[in-house]
A and B are shown apart, each in its own frame.
Chain A
Amino acid sequence: MKGKTQNDRERIINIIVTILLCLGAIVMVFPLVYMVLSSFMTKNQILSANFSIIPNPWKFGKYAEVLSKPEFLRGVRNTLLVALPVLVVGSFTSSLAAFSFAKLRFRGKNGIFLGLLATMMIPFAVVMIPQYVMFTKMGWTNGLLPLIIPGLFGNVSMIFFLRQNLSSIPTALVEAAKIDGCGYFKIYYAVFLPLMKGALMTQVILWFMGIWNDYLAPTIFIQDEKWFTLQVVIRSFNAYYAVNSDYPLIMAASVLAILPTLLLFFFFQRYIIESMAITGVKG
Chain B
Amino acid sequence: MSNNGKRRRMSAAALEEHRWGLAFVLPPFVGFLAFMAFPIVFAFIASLTKWNGINNMLDNFIGLANYGKLLTDAKFWKVLGNTVIYMIGIPIGMILGLIIAVGMNRKIRGIKVLRTLYYIPVISSLVAVAILWMWVFNYDYGLLNSIIKALTGLHGPNWLGDEFWVKVSMIIFMVWKGLGTSIILYLSGLQGIPRDYYEAAKIDGATGWNLFRFITIPLVSPVTFYMLITGLIGGFQVFVEVLVMVPSGGLNNSAMTVVFYLYQKAFESRQMGYASAMAFLLAIIIFIITAINFKGQDRWVKTID
Contacts and interface: CB of A to CB of B under 8 A. Distances in A.
B62 interface: no
A108 interface: yes
Nearest to A212: B125
B217 interface: no
Nearest to A247: B135
A127 B125 contact: no
Given A124-B237, A126-B283, A257-B127, A32 B14 contact: no
Contact of A280 (B124, B185, B258): B185
Interface string B258-273: 1100110011000010
Give the interface SS of chain A, mostly helix, strand, loop or mixed.
helix
A93 B27 contact: yes
A105 to B, nearest CB: 6
Interface in A9-43: 13-14, 17-18, 20-22, 24-25, 28-29, 31-32, 34-35, 38
B114 A21 contact: yes
B199 interface: no
B131 A238 contact: yes
Give the interface SS of chain B, mostly helix, strand, loop or mixed.
helix
A122 B290 CA distance: 12
Given A24-B100, A25-B114, A126 B107 contact: no
Contact of A116 (B28, B43, B223, B278): B28
Interface residues of A, number: 89
Interface string A144-170: 000000101110100100000000000
Contacts of A266: 116
Interface stretch (B69-77, B85-93, B141-149, B158-166): B141-149
B205 interface: no
B40 A126 contact: yes
Nearest to A278: B188
The listed residue with most B CB atoms (<10 A of its CB), out of A94, A115, A125, A216, is A125
The listed residue with most B CB atoms (<10 A of its CB), out of A29, A128, A250, A281, is A128
Interface stretch (A65-73, A95-103, A195-203): A95-103
Nearest to B191: A277
A31 B136 contact: yes
A251 B132 contact: yes
Nearest to B31: A153
A123 B237 CA distance: 7
A228 interface: no
Nearest to B107: A14
Contacts of A82: none
The listed residue with most A CB atoms (<10 A of its CB), out of B29, B107, B227, is B29
Interface residues of B, number: 101
A5 interface: no
Given A22-B114, A46-B141, A247-B135, A281 B17 contact: no
Contact of A265 (B123, B131, B150, B176): B123
A231 interface: yes
Interface string B173-210: 00010011100110111001000000000000000000
B150 A277 contact: no
A101 B188 contact: no
Interface string B105-146: 011111000111111110111111101111110000101001
A281 B116 contact: no
A101 B118 contact: no
B300 interface: no
Interface in B269-305: 272, 275-276, 278-280, 282-283, 286-287, 290
Given A99-B24, A213-B127, 7 more contacts: A21-B103, A93-B28, A109-B21, A129-B46, A153-B34, A269-B116, A280-B181
15 contacts: A18-B108, A21-B108, A25-B114, A93-B28, A96-B24, A106-B18, A121-B290, A123-B237, A125-B263, A129-B43, A130-B276, A153-B31, A213-B126, A277-B184, A277-B188
Interface of A: 13-14, 17-18, 20-22, 24-25, 28-29, 31-32, 34-35, 38, 46-47, 51, 93-94, 96-97, 99-101, 104-109, 112, 115-116, 119, 121-134, 150, 152-154, 156, 159, 184-185, 188, 209, 212-213, 215-216, 220, 231, 234-235, 238-239, 247, 250-251, 254-255, 257-258, 261-262, 265-266, 269, 272-273, 276-277, 280-281, 283
